A and B are shown apart, each in its own frame.
Chain A
Amino acid sequence: MDLTKYEKIFAQESGKYLKELEDLLMQVEKNLSNLGLWAEIHGKVHSIKGMARALSLNKISDLCHLMEEWCISFQQGKLMSSKAAVQTLFDGSELLGTLISKSGRLDSFGDQKAYDSLISLFQKIPPELSVTAPEPQPPPSPAYAQPMIKSIDYVRIRYSFIEELLGLTQEVQLLAKRFPSFSQDQMSSGLKNWVDHYTALMKVLYFQLTQLRLMPVGDFADMFRKSIRNMAKENDKNIDFEIIGGEIQADITLLERLREPLIHIFRNCIAHGIEPAEERTGKGKNAAGKITIEARSEKENLYIKIRDDGRGINKSPIMKYLQEKQNITDEEIADMSEEDIFDTILRTDFTSSLGATELSGRGIGMSVVAQSVDYLGGSLTISSKEDKGTEFSIKLPLSLSIIYAIIFSVGKYILAIPTLSINSIDRIDLSFAENPELYYDTRKLMGVTGEKSGYATVLSLRYTADNSAFTDGKSGLKLIVDNVIGNRPLMVLPVGELLSRIKLFSGIGIMENGDISILLDVDNLP
């Protein structure tokens, strides 16, 4: 029997259980005597054990078995759990992860050693054992011992599979385009209708499939929970992690490229932002620090903000850098906005010009983060208040999402502007136009030759009601374009590295038929 297929399924399924196990361990770490949580933890370990046994992956099932023994003792209140015990279980789950990825084999000396020492640890009674176990809390609702079975709302799919599906539908669409042209008598109108209908359905199918590429930001942020916990432990700090706006959907490829920059920001917050517990209590703050990740979609942008409630960024090394390396006078610094001052950290030569000790590590390597965000066509801003905390705000262009946009042509180019940003489309005789300073000739910008005179198609951009940070665009501007093609739904992909240098495009729009239009970033028109 070919077991590889089952091993794959096992790896997928147990990976899911492991993740749930780690989440539960994080919860129980904060509430050691919650017997219900211990019962759930036990359940997860037990499920992995069962699957491993079925496949004779004995190393995995043995480890699970011992971990389970501990869980049962805690669950039944026979033994009192401790932070050290939870840590050992964390180590166990980590090793399980390694074992699962290697199909239950220990192929390095290091792995074998780690395995042996963990096994011998689990064979003992949990550390820091307390004899006076608390009164066991009964597990919830034992009266109706009906197991709760949730309905299946989601299935797990490999991301590359979605890409393959998208590719195939796209190819079928292309095939439809190559449909040979038959004369009237060769093709009945019935057949033609059938083909048209088929093509239309294909387009819809493709469009629906594209939406599979979206992922809730909350699920993405959840992936950091464990790293944050580990980093907090390394730095001997206690940190709560909160996710706001987790339901907002964003393109997986975009989020994937944010992973490294975000880890960097979190590391900064934990190592340098959040103060040690004594310092915090001394300042009247909660002993545990807090890191919040907040997602919000506004107009055509996705905002991701990371906040800590730590000590804030020390301005003095920034001042020193500005005075000594940039020769900026005190008066000029006084005129600088807070935002501009903190943005200094993002410059490539900032960290290298100051010793790490001087900076006390704050903001080190932030230029790398800023660059990664820049590659995605986004921007990073920092705000910070002494003893209140620091906020890193990442603004990203239209992530992969479906938006409506006005598609228009300028010379040979097909461009788009989100419909929400447009107030009206008019035909205007330019020689009689009022406020000529509001008119912007996109033909000239794009290097399209030939003067436009007389009647022209004009897209008037929407006036913005307030002047909040999100509406600093050129409101009320009137763009002169060649022809308006229509108001169409677009799937928006991020601009690549080369095109992001132009700094005029906020995304690449894919129309239902697979054609491309380029989204003009009206906030950045020169």
Chain B
Amino acid sequence: MKLFVFKSKDEFIGIESDYVHRIIDDSKVTQVPLTPEPYTGLLYHRGELFDVINMQLLLGYQADGSAEPNRIIILKWLDKKLAVIPDEITGMIWIDDEAESKNEYYHENHKIRLIRPDYIWKKLSELSYGPHKI
């Protein structure tokens, strides 16, 4: 299978490329009040709204400003969709299909953490939304 790889902080993250719908450049993300920290805002692209997520923050790192929304990865799977902001996009690699079920994969001495969009969604769902957190 093809793996789409991007960097977040010092980690290489790999997502199965079938879930990657599109990469968009230079888009305007609108901030939304009362959302948890990794929720960067809303993006309106080609008639659709996307929740935009800062991957650094979602993975539990402190923001260091390197995740700028100038390149956004749009993920689509089942009936769900998300937009995530990486630090940088590394590229695409081919891996064995049996590696699919593993959590990590080594490519040229770099450890790539394999994640599924469901995992991102689950982490997002566990966060707190609404006025009570203030």
Contacts and interface: CB of A to CB of B under 8 A. Distances in A.
Contacts of A514: 28, 44
Contacts of B130: 501-504
A499 B33 contact: no
Given A445-B131, A501-B129, A526-B131, A413 B32 contact: yes
Interface in B95-117: none
B32 A518 contact: yes
A163 B48 CA distance: 9
Interface residues of A, number: 35
Given A163-B46, A167-B47, A447 B33 contact: yes
B51 interface: yes
A364 interface: no
Contacts of A496: 49, 51
Contacts of B45: 167, 170
Contacts of A412: 31
A390 B49 CA distance: 36
A250 interface: no
Contacts of A497: 80
A434 interface: no
A171 B47 CA distance: 11
22 contacts: A162-B47, A164-B46, A170-B44, A170-B47, A171-B46, A410-B33, A413-B32, A446-B33, A447-B33, A447-B34, A496-B49, A501-B129, A501-B130, A502-B35, A502-B130, A502-B131, A503-B130, A504-B34, A514-B44, A516-B30, A517-B30, A518-B42
Contacts of B125: 498
B51 to A, nearest CB: 5
B36 to A, nearest CB: 9
Contact of B44 (A164, A499, A510): A510
Contacts, number: 77
Contacts of A415: 33
Most B CB within 10 A of own CB, among A163, A410, A497, A499:
A499
A514 to B, nearest CB: 6
A493 B49 contact: yes
Contacts of B78: none
A446 B44 CA distance: 22
Given A496-B51, A508-B49, A510-B44, A502 B129 contact: yes
A213 B47 CA distance: 10
Contacts of A515: 28, 30
A341 interface: no
B47 A166 contact: yes
| Majority secondary structure, A binding face | mixed
A414 B33 CA distance: 9
B31 A508 contact: no
Interface string B114-134: 000000000011000111001
Contact of A499 (B35, B46, B48, B134): B35
A166 B124 CA distance: 29
Interface string A195-237: 0000000000000001001000000000000000000000000
Interface in B40-98: 42, 44-49, 51, 80
Contacts of B30: 414, 515-518
Nearest to B127: A498
A488 B31 CA distance: 19
B4 interface: no
B39 interface: yes
Nearest to A444: B134
A412 B129 CA distance: 18
A445 B134 CA distance: 8
A510 B50 CA distance: 13
A170 to B, nearest CB: 6
B51 A516 contact: no
Contacts of B31: 412-413
Nearest to A503: B130
Interface in A135-150: none
B93 to A, nearest CB: 29
Interface in A494-526: 496-499, 501-504, 508, 510, 514-518, 526
Contacts of B32: 413, 499, 518
B34 A498 contact: no
A411 B34 CA distance: 12
Nearest to A495: B49
A176 to B, nearest CB: 14
